[in-house]
A and B are shown apart, each in its own frame.
Chain A
Amino acid sequence: MTRAIFLALTAALIGCRSRDGTDADRLVVYSAGPRPLAEAICAAFTQATGTPVDLFQATTGQLMARLEAEKYRPRADIVLFASEIAAAALKREGRLLRFRPEAAERLRADWSDPDETYWASGAALVGVAVRRDFAERAPRRWSDWFALADARRIVMPSPSRSGATGDFVVTLALQWPEETFAGFARLRLAGMDFAAANSQAIGGLQMGAHDALIGAVDYLIYQQIARGEPLEMLYPEEGAVLVTRPIAILAATPRPDAAKAFVEFYLAPESQRRVAAAHLAPARADVAPSPARGAELPRWIRADPVAAVLRQGAILRRFQLDIERAASARALRRAAGAAP
């Protein structure tokens, strides 16, 4: 047996021969969001410029954890988040490089940082996804959703587990503080269910376990619709929540020129058309959104990133304690009664 173990060990060591992680000319990109999109744009960039790209793909939260763990010896050159709050937080710590790409004029107004540290590469809108057979009966305004008497067939991804839903709750709570908490408390009281992740909630919608998904990220729903799923995306009249997907260069990058070239490339029409094809809203005003999405963006609201960075923790904590984990129906009723 010793010999067997020895052989296995040797095989393991040979099998796991490491590749060199610190190649001087490789660009390191940390990206959240649709993986095929990031892969395609990175491959196109390498083909166009000859610069090889190491793409590390995870959720925004996981990227933040990794960036924090690497704080004392940064590895990434570019970050691409699925949330503006994450980028604003890095900016606050002075970890982003100021840079104005040539495409800046072509980008949609006020989607990006006025101080030019991060730029929207695209955006998603957060609203309500419904089954097509429920669409006719579905409320059209947030206030009507919040007033539903029976919410047992409504689901929402948990804001402390799904980044996009977290941004959605923070934005609503900054815009309409009291109405938002009272509204979600009322929905919870009426039987609304929480799911651990977007995909789990979407799955429940497809299977018919739920009629409506509050806090749905629209590009994921459009992907499902494009596959023929009988779903529809609704944007309540007061405004859907705009969640931009910022791209930024880390200040510690040893390769600022390659990094700048990458940002330019991501904001160029060719890449932006790929963004649109993934059903995200492109950041360039001169690139048309996908047909499923439609040319016109609905009315939207967006959180002030500075306020959002400061208040996010408190808002999500309050949501978690008062609504998700409310100890009793009475506690929920108290939270729901806070506003008319």
Chain B
Amino acid sequence: MTRRRTRGETGAPGAASVSLAVAALAIACAYPLLLLFVQSLFPNALGGEWSGFLSPYRRLFSTPDLARMLGHSLSWAAATTAVAWFFGIPCGFLLARCALPGKGFARLTMLAPLMTPPYIAALSYVVLLQPGGFGDRLIGVPEPLRDWFFSFHGVTMAMALASFGYVALGVEAALLRLPPRMEDAALQLGASRPRLWRSILIPLLLPAILNTGLLVFLDALSNFGVPAVLGTRANLALLPAEIYHLLTSWPVDVPVATALSSLLCLLALLSLRISAALTRGSGSAGGRAAGGRLVKLSPARAALAWLWIGGLFVLSTALPYAAMIAMSLVDRWTDGAPAWTLRHYGALFRPASGGRAALLTSLGLAAAAATLCAAGGGFVAYVAARSGRLARRAIEALAILPRALPKIVMTVGLILAWNAPWVRVNLYGTLGMLLLAYVVCYISDALAYAGAALRRMNPRLETAALQLGAGRVAVLARIVAPQLGPALAAAWLTTFIVCVRELVCSILLLPPGVETTATFIFNQFEQGDLSSAMAMATVTIGVTATILFLLQRTPLFRMKGDV
């Protein structure tokens, strides 16, 4: 693609666009990251002292268990990604290419696990599988299954089930934009199905597979909640838990926590480069997109497809949700048997409880953040894809780093950055601050989806428009944006969902007296009120699912690939 381009009136964005994208990323992502990095080099730099150069890194290597934690974190994240691919890629194919009855519902089932806050899902599995839990009461959980689940395997499985939706949606969006010409040619020339996958589909899908895999990998690498709840039995020593410990127990050690986080950053950059190197060979395939043409499935195959999707739905959603809903209905436990009630739901919407306000705050913030991410991420991805290699790498790295850091580190960085004595804008302590944090932490979704779509888009159309005298804004609005539509819609959905459930940034950055659903749930937990917490989680998921269901009926989100 780059080779074919000539200087002059090409599809390359103008200097103004490039500087706008770089400046926005520099202020939003690079500035807090830089402050953190400076602190890890000079622990008291912000206090005006330049002593103790590199001391955090020296102390870092005296951390006991460091190699073990690093190894655990890496293998856990890699295993999670592999399992998520295994679950997600077939789902993406079924959604994009097969005439599957009930497809809208199937797509919702991919999104449902993303809606659940990971620690709620983990806790639901605990409630389900622990000795004397719901599972034991109903059927009796076999001991080997229990041992298997509360180990490395179970933690990996729980995390993969929570995030395979990313892969499924990414692969679906990519397949929808894939022109069928090459497939048709290969099939007519007598290629077998496996050959077709190996030589054509996988190489063309590679950007989408790797980009979404990267998201899953980074989420697992920086996730704290799932291993914290499930991993205590599994005895998994992971880096984010160590970082969390450094930041929340005395002595709070921001420099060492940051130094430790820079290891995670290194891993993230490494995986970004590897994934970029792997996708270099796979280019675009010109031609019109597949549109509405679908593979007919025989009844047996359709049943098999639904068994796959349905099985995943049961494991990832139905079981934990059943446990969650059951918990929210428990009045009290007598002799280990629950008495049922609806009062926790009623209590949520009493004006004094603040439940309704928290829900509205969450939905508003998440919608705003998702819109900003989709628009901003799409623009940045476009600029990155159509500019030189160096600029592209810098932009990609900047946008991906906040995702690789544990949220608490990123939040501390944002506080350092926007509460600094030299900052004159009064952003810190307002809802705007939380919005910025969401955008910074989750803009990588939009970039990953849009980046994969852009790699398959040929810049010739843009060049043609420019040479015919269209302005750059018109090119962006009338050529790039419509083609990116499905990818950005998918990014909007996942960003919206994860922002509704986001906990760590919310707790540390919310202005006084304002709550989101996640902090509401967390506070109920802290007070030992599991049932109210689960009731709020149920309502939040219900409302989010309804919104997604309604959005799917609008043309933009219906994910048709035709331009």
For window 222-236 of A, CB contacts with B under 8 Å fall at 223-224, 227-230
Q: Are B416 and A69 in contact (CB under 8 A)?
A: yes
CB-CB < 8 A to B364: which residues of A?
A: 15-16
A-side contacts of B65, CB under 8 Å: 321, 325
Given A5-B371, A16-B365, A200-B123, CB of A64 within 8 Å of CB of B333: no
Residues of A within 8 A of B333 (CB): 206-208, 229-230
List A contacts of B525 (CB < 8 A): 197, 199
CB-nearest residue of chain A to B249: A61
Interface positions of B from 248 to 270, Cβ below 8 Å from A: 248-252, 254
Residues A229 and B332 in contact in the complex (CB < 8 Å), given A16-B365, A21-B430, A325-B65: yes
CB of A108 closer than 8 Å to a CB of B:
no
Q: Does B412 contact A (CB under 8 A)?
A: yes
Q: Which residue of A lies closest to B368 (CB)?
A: A12
**A193 vs B234: C-alpha distance when bound (angstroms):** 11
Residues from chain B with Cβ under 8 Å of A229 in the complex: 332-333
Contact yes or no, A325 B237, CB < 8 A: yes
Contact A54 B513 (CB under 8 A): yes
In whole Å, how far is A290's beta carbon from the nearest beta carbon of chain B?
16
Residues in A whose Cβ lies below 8 Å from that of B188: none
Contact A316 B477 (CB under 8 A): no
Distance A21 CA – B426 CA, assembled complex (angstroms):
7
Query: When the two chains form the complex, which single residue of B228, B252, B432 contacts A161, counting CB atoms closer than 8 Å?
Result: B228
Q: Who on chain A is nearest to B409 by CB? A: A65
Q: Find the B residue at minimum CB distance from A221.
A: B528
B127: Cβ under 8 A from any A Cβ: yes
Does A1 touch B at the CB level, under 8 Å?
yes
In residues 477-493 of chain B, which contact A (Cβ within 8 Å)? 477, 481-482, 485
A209:B371 contact, CB within 8 angstroms: no
> Which of B336, B415, B556 is in CB contact (< 8 Å) with A208?
B336
Q: Are B523 and A325 in contact (CB under 8 A)?
A: no
Interface residue SS majority, chain B: helix
Nearest chain B CB to A252 CB, angstrom units: 12
A16 to B436 Cα, complex, angstroms? 11
Which of A70-78, A118-126, A262-270 lies on the face that meets chain B? A70-78
Instruction: Judge whether A72 and B421 touch: CB under 8 Å.
Output: yes
Whole-angstrom distance between the alpha carbons of A86 and B232 in the complex? Answer: 25
A196 engages B429 (CB within 8 Å): no
Partner of A54, one of B245, B412, B426, B512: B512
Write out, one digit per residue, whether chain B residues 506-530 have a CB within 8 A of any chain A CB (1) or not (0).
0110011100000000010111111
Task: Indicate with 1 or 0, residue by residue over A237-259, a CB within 8 angstroms of chain B CB atoms.
Answer: 00000000000000000000000
**Which residues 40-87 of A sit at the B interface, judged by CB distance below 8 A?**
54-59, 61-62, 64-73, 75, 85-86
Decide: A89 near B64, CB < 8 A? Known: A12-B371, A199-B525. Answer: no
A-B contact pairs, 20 of them (CB 8 A): A1-B485, A4-B556, A8-B367, A9-B372, A12-B367, A18-B430, A19-B431, A35-B523, A55-B513, A62-B508, A69-B416, A160-B241, A194-B233, A199-B525, A200-B126, A208-B132, A220-B528, A321-B65, A325-B235, A325-B237
> What 3 A-B pairs come out closest when comparing CB atoms?
A61-B248, A21-B429, A208-B336
Query: 11 more A-B contacts (CB under 8 A) besides A9-B372, A208-B132?
Result: A12-B435, A21-B426, A64-B248, A66-B508, A69-B419, A72-B421, A199-B526, A199-B529, A208-B335, A325-B65, A325-B237
- The chain B residues found within 8 Å of chain A, CB to CB, are 46-47, 64-65, 123, 126-127, 130-133, 228-229, 232-233, 235, 237, 241, 245, 247-252, 254, 332-336, 364-365, 367-368, 371-372, 374-375, 408, 411-412, 415-416, 419-421, 426-432, 435, 477, 481-482, 485, 507-508, 511-513, 523, 525-530, 533, 556
